[in-house]
Amino acid sequence: MKKRLTNISVAKKIKYSTKLLVYKSLARLKNARIDEFDDSIYQNKKIIIVGPASSSEQYLPGATIDQFDLVVRINKSPSIVEKNKEKIGSRTDILYHCCDESPLHGGGPILVEMLTSQKNKWVIFTYHDPSVVANVYKIAFKYPKIKIRTTSESLYFNLKDSYSGKMPTTGLQALNHIMCTNFKELHITGFTFFKTPYSSGYRDSHKSAESASALAKSTGNHDPDDELRIFMQLLNKHHNKKIFLDDALTDIIAQQRC
């Protein structure tokens, strides 16, 4: 995995490089492998990506979601599956996770037994900023049995170069990654760019749209409004593909276009 160490101080370069080296070494001790995700896995597949917004509970019945070739979720979303599986399905074939297990500003804990019960095949890490790239090796060391994959560095920086925040959210990066592949059909639900509440149990201390948006902005890393702008650009770019949105996201986009 390559690193960009431009536009940061020498002290921070040393700090980030040292941290990366330490966790890489620890991961090797556990024989943990981190390869780039094989995008052909998505080829000709019927995929649904289920985000954490409450709109995911009104899109399709859980039994229908479980019939997709691949069910994709984000960060701590697997933790709300069990009590909501009738509405959001029971599988998490692929989990995009930021590999920061902080429950507030990170993606929440990676629960290996839970992922196994949800038939998880891969956990995908999308970030390539030198300040956070060591996180994936830390997770590989901590959970050596998980199949961890990364997305390409170019995919990350091409997205970041047009972004007003410091780092795009894991959710936006997951959407960007999948939309760039040769899937057969993609359904997107539970993504409202912090304009509607979270699903119950996802982040109940910041469940309202206003509170969730404020939390996303609080670190200075994310810009929800700019993420919506970029997502609309992605929809235009991939307009020839079979992409289906839930009603909440469809309405949000229609309002932006007015």
Alpha-carbon gap, residue 62 to 257, rounded angstroms: 31
**Mean pLDDT of the 55-72 span:** 98
**Domains defined along the chain, listed by start:** 10-257 (3.90.1480)
- Coil vs helix vs strand at 74: strand
Q: Average the pLDDT over 145-165 and give the result.
A: 95
pTM here is 0.93
Query: Residue 176's closest CA among 184, 168, 164?
Result: 168
Q: Where are the alpha helices (DSSP H) in 161-205?
A: 170-179
Tell me the pLDDT tens digit for each residue of 17-54.
889 899 889 888 888 889 999 999 999 999 999 999 99
Cross-strand partners of 46? 185
User: pLDDT per residue over 187-217, tens digit each?
Assistant: 999 999 999 989 988 887 777 778 877 877 8
Output the pLDDT for position 7.
63
Q: What is the pLDDT of residues 75-114, one digit of tens each?
A: 999 999 999 999 999 999 999 999 999 987 899 999 999 9
Cβ pair 6, 133 in contact under 8 A: no
User: DSSP readout, 195-239?
Assistant: SSPBPTTTSGGG-SHHHHHHHHHHTSS--HHHHHHHHHHHHHHTT
d(CA 245, CA 250): 6
The mean per-residue pLDDT over the stretch 126-148 comes to 95
